[in-house]
Structure 1
């Protein structure tokens, strides 16, 4: 699953490594937006964002219901500085992918994420970055 690296200004790359919370937007089956705060990681080299969550969470169910066309957005903001990552999302419980998501989360937030028995990772193939600096 190879993707082109997104061109981001260095300041945006650094901003997206700060241990911040983002708003994660998915679409419910009826088309209305569901917005929830999340912690996430962004691998700029692979253009891949990751959100760990429970399989039964509304966000995971929304992504799964959207199938391969499921589009989502993550928006990290601090004051008037912000960056939004958009792309197609999938949900997986693959052990290797979960381990990578947990490793990256732990490095970014300096603490391991919660690990409920039904832990999954939402992987977002980021194809658009919106930011006043990009």
Structure 2
């Protein structure tokens, strides 16, 4: 991901106190940047992943989530979220009263109702907790 895109996403998410980046894979630049800005960040994936200093990791499956990993989060975020995980991620965010922001793999449209925010090099898809904050 381009540096300006990482910075733009981090700028957008920096207003949250606690962010959980789901399905992190090996893309840890946003989590690193947020942690560096003082945001409490947890990264999750279905397999163990190394995360930057200041980023907590929890192995978890979005389709059968451990709620305690996500409780207290203000925002669930994902990069390149595959279509089959759009609905489970948004449902999970709603269960823990968190906003959900994600990007897709370019050509994949969101499979949930969203608002769109254009940032450098990317579109953020946004689902607000309880209709907005």
TM-score by length of 1: 0.28
Q: Where is the helix percentage greater, Structure 1 or Structure 2? A: 2
Q: Where is the strand percentage greater, Structure 1 or Structure 2? A: 1
Q: Which has the higher contact order (CA 8 A, sep 6+)?
A: 1
Select the structure of larger CA radius of gyration.
Answer: 1
